[in-house]
Amino acid sequence: MNRNRDIQINIRLTEKELDMFERKRAISGMSKTDFFMKLVRDSNIKVYRFDDEVKGIMHELRKIGVNLNQVAYFANTFQSEKAQVALRYYEKSFCEAMDRLSAFLDKPLVED
């Protein structure tokens, strides 16, 4: 492919990032430019804004995790009925929170 590339960009990488780039590029057998162009053309990047909605979902998921300790306590103290009721409640809460998180991930701000 014969293109006129007259625009230059500069990026800054850590040594580790450069090593990773060079290792992958070497394996591909491509030039730096061709490898970078393949990354640009073939990659799919999604951008999200982690706002109060997501912070609320994450807070809810942490609370559910903490409350699972209560289920473990009930199970370990032979209160299986309480454990089952609590587990069903937290399972429902967990599924609802995960559905909200999934809906958020289905709507990125930017997607190419």
* Tens of pLDDT, residues 52-97: 888 999 999 999 988 888 888 888 998 889 889 988 888 989 999 9
For residue 9, is it within any domain? no
First to last CA, the chain: 23
pLDDT of 112 > 80? The answer is no
For residue 81, is it within any domain? yes
The residue segments making up the domain with residue 30 are: 15-43
User: Does an H or E element contain 47, and which?
Assistant: strand 46-47
35 and 52 together in one domain? no
Contact (Cβ atoms closer than 8 angstroms) between residue 110 and residue 49: no
Contact (Cβ atoms closer than 8 angstroms) between residue 88 and residue 28: no
* Tens of pLDDT, residues 9-47: 999 999 999 999 999 999 999 999 999 999 999 988 888
| Single pTM value for the model | 0.56
For residue 10, is it within any domain? no
For residue 68, is it within any domain? yes
The pLDDT value recorded for residue 11 is: 93
57 and 101 together in one domain? yes
Contact (Cβ atoms closer than 8 angstroms) between residue 96 and residue 88: no
37 and 92 together in one domain? no
Contact (Cβ atoms closer than 8 angstroms) between residue 44 and residue 112: yes
64 and 105 together in one domain? yes
CA 37/CA 41 separation, integer angstroms: 6
